[in-house]
Amino acid sequence: MKAPRRCCVAPTSKDRAMGFGLSPLSASACLLLAALQTGVPVTEEPRHKVVFANGYVRVIDASLPVGDVTLFHTHELDNVPVVITGGTIRTQVVHGATSDTTLEVGRAWFAKAAYTHQIANIGATPLRFIDAEILARWQSSGAGSTQSGPETTIVENDIVRVARIVLNPQVSLAPHVHAQPLLHVEVSGSANSARPRTAGSFRWLDPGAPHGVANTSDQRYEGVIVEWK
Ligand SMILES: [Zn+2]
Ligand SMILES: [Zn+2]
């Protein structure tokens, strides 16, 4: 008779001290444990909704109410999260450390794939992110980045350039073009007279498509652009 199948997870010394590991878990228990420890794809995590995709980007709108916690989920793609509604999160990396972070509205960063984690909203405000996943690189013709005055680069690497646009009331960003495609994410709502912009809305722009912001309101405008390379 074959020896019983060993569990996929080696017992720790603490497990042994607790009596675990002496009798191997059943195969089904092993599979369940493995699923819990690896995480679901981010697209199957219920708080993450895919709201747009083309050949280059997949946009996820993620909301986490106060006190809520995600499943362990895996980001298989490099991505740029943009904080639309800020707060405090506790991040647990699978098989790794736990850390608490306060995220202010408008923060954006580059997250290198692949990683598996779980996010808990431990603050007093609901959290919302727009996450731009990089499906493919842009086959650049070699043209350099176009940087307009009010667009301040936050992150730049060989995959993307991420920039913030901040406009005071009655200050506009004149229409201009970029040589690369970009995703323009609205961080603050703005009473733009021509086209109202809602926080968390976004727009994909092909290379050469003019973009600008006419901030004719009495509110500060903030947006984030993710430019493909
Ligand atoms: Zn995540
Ligand atoms: Zn621009």
Q: Tens digits of per-residue pLDDT, 33-58?
A: 555 568 999 999 999 999 999 999 99
Q: What is the pLDDT of residue 38?
A: 85
Instruction: State whether 122 and 161 are in the same domain.
Output: no
Task: Indicate which ligand has the atom closest to the C-alpha of 184.
Answer: 2
Q: What contacts 137, CB < 8 A, 6 or more positions away?
A: 159, 228, 229
Domain of residue 201 covers 151-228
d(CA 202, ligand 1 centre) in Å: 20
Task: Indicate which ligand has the atom closest to the C-alpha of 180.
Answer: 2
Q: Tens digits of per-residue pLDDT, 78-90?
A: 999 999 999 999 9
Instruction: State whether 223 and 175 are in the same domain.
Output: yes
d(CA 129, ligand 1 centre) in Å: 10
Q: What is the DSSP letter of 6?
A: P
Provide the number of structural domains found in the chain: 2
Q: Tens digits of per-residue pLDDT, 17-37?
A: 444 444 445 666 655 555 556
Task: Please give the model's pTM, rounded to 2 decimal places.
Answer: 0.82
The token pair at 172 is 């506009």
d(CA 132, ligand 2 centre) in Å: 17
Task: Indicate which ligand has the atom closest to the C-alpha of 47.
Answer: 1
